[in-house]
Amino acid sequence: MHELQYLMFTVIVLALLFDFINGFHDSANAIATSVSTRALPPNTAVMMAALLEFAGAMISTGVAKTIGGDIVSSTQIVDEKIIIAGLFGAIVWNLVTWWFAMPSSSSHALIGGMIGAVMVSVGSTGLNFDGIGKIVVSLIASPVVAWFTGIIIMNVLFRLFGSLSPHTVNNGFRKMQVLTAASMAFSHGSNDAQKSMGIITLALFSGGFISEFEVPTYVKILCAAAMSLGVAFGGQRIIKTIGGKIFKLEPISGFAADLNSSLVVFSATLLHLPVSTTHVVSGSIMGVGTAKRINAVHWGVAQQMVMAWVMTIPCTAVMGALTYFLVDAIF
């Protein structure tokens, strides 16, 4: 029993660490466009985002239940060692991609880490392939949807405001970006913070600490706070990539990208689907850039991002598997 409690404590610490790292890794998603267009100073943007991330994380648990229930075939076969290994693999990947200033998906990392740990511990029968398929489809489809809707929103704005002078348009939309940055932070918190909630709840349920698969209030508060603190520390390295290297943003295009991203991410939250906000924001910026002209997008940078996305699940699966062998040898 003492060992079980120690392992459970380790799961919670690692899950909150994952949330914290996710926060500073993905803080760029919420504020990169508004900072790059100088709609908000970085410190103000970060603090605003941190508060709204916390608020967004508290509104729902649907995504948490999807993460906790759809990756494994049964919660009874999952123990704390599997979850520790999956979380550790995801954390290492997030730190590596952060160090190299490469936007990548924390959602992909977590799923890959869990898949690797389950595969080497109980085999493929421990995986819920239908559930994993649904999650992967939502992760792949979301940036494509964001790219397509980004083109539509940008074209609508061109039609509505194309006759005005660039100075007037930029001044107006620079102010409006404060609202869209806020909505993006709220929607990011509503989706991303729930992933750690789902993992902690899975561990509590499989360990017999709770009697039904419902996210306890204290878990919601802890994960929301960890995500919010992570955002407060900021992700300046990745802000430069998202905010300027994909496509040179102006206030109107920054507004369009943030509005589009927040709508896509929050729609996914309402549908209880985990998505990568990094992918969605990058897809939105590509769509907005494409609406202006195709060669306005720096497709070389976009290609590097796609390669990182493709590599994430296999790499974190290997990390999760190797970590499981280590954890199992220790305990």
**Helix axis angle, 106-121 relative to 299-330, nearest 10°?**
40
The count of structural domains within the chain is 1
Euclidean distance between CA atoms 68 and 61, whole angstroms: 11
Classify residue 330: in a domain, yes or no.
no
* pLDDT score of 305: 67
Query: Which has the minimum average pLDDT: 135-144, 208-217, 243-252?
Result: 243-252
* pLDDT score of 246: 46
* pLDDT score of 78: 86
Classify residue 331: in a domain, yes or no.
no
DSSP, collapsed to helix, strand or coil, labels residue 61 as coil
Classify residue 246: in a domain, yes or no.
yes
* pLDDT score of 18: 92
Classify residue 175: in a domain, yes or no.
yes
Classify residue 329: in a domain, yes or no.
no
Euclidean distance between CA atoms 280 and 290, whole angstroms: 15
Q: With 50 as the cut, is the pLDDT of residue 207 above it? A: yes
Q: Is the dihedral of CA 247, 248, 252, 258 positive or negative?
A: positive
Classify residue 328: in a domain, yes or no.
no
* pLDDT score of 46: 78
Classify residue 121: in a domain, yes or no.
yes
What percent of the chain is modeled with pLDDT above 90?
A: 37
* pLDDT score of 4: 67
Residue 116 half-sphere exposure toward CB, CA atoms < 13 A: 27
Provide mean pLDDT across the span 153-174. 89
Query: Which has the minimum average pLDDT: 12-16, 153-157, 230-234?
Result: 230-234
What type of residue sits at position 309? W
C-beta neighbour count of 307 within 10 angstroms: 11
Query: Which has the minimum average pLDDT: 84-88, 176-180, 315-319?
Result: 176-180
Domain that holds residue 42: 2-323
Q: Is 132 exposed, middle or buried (0-12, 13-18, 19+ CB in 10 A)?
A: middle
Q: Is the dihedral of CA 187, 189, 195, 200 positive or negative?
A: negative
Using the 8-state DSSP alphabet, how is residue 294 labeled?
G
End-to-end CA distance of the chain: 13
* pLDDT score of 243: 45
CB 278 within 8 A of CB 103: yes
Beta strands in 160-262 (DSSP E): none
Classify residue 297: in a domain, yes or no.
yes
- Mean pLDDT, the chain, integer: 85
Taking only the tens place, the pLDDT of each residue in 102-139 is 667 788 889 999 999 999 999 999 999 999 999 888 88
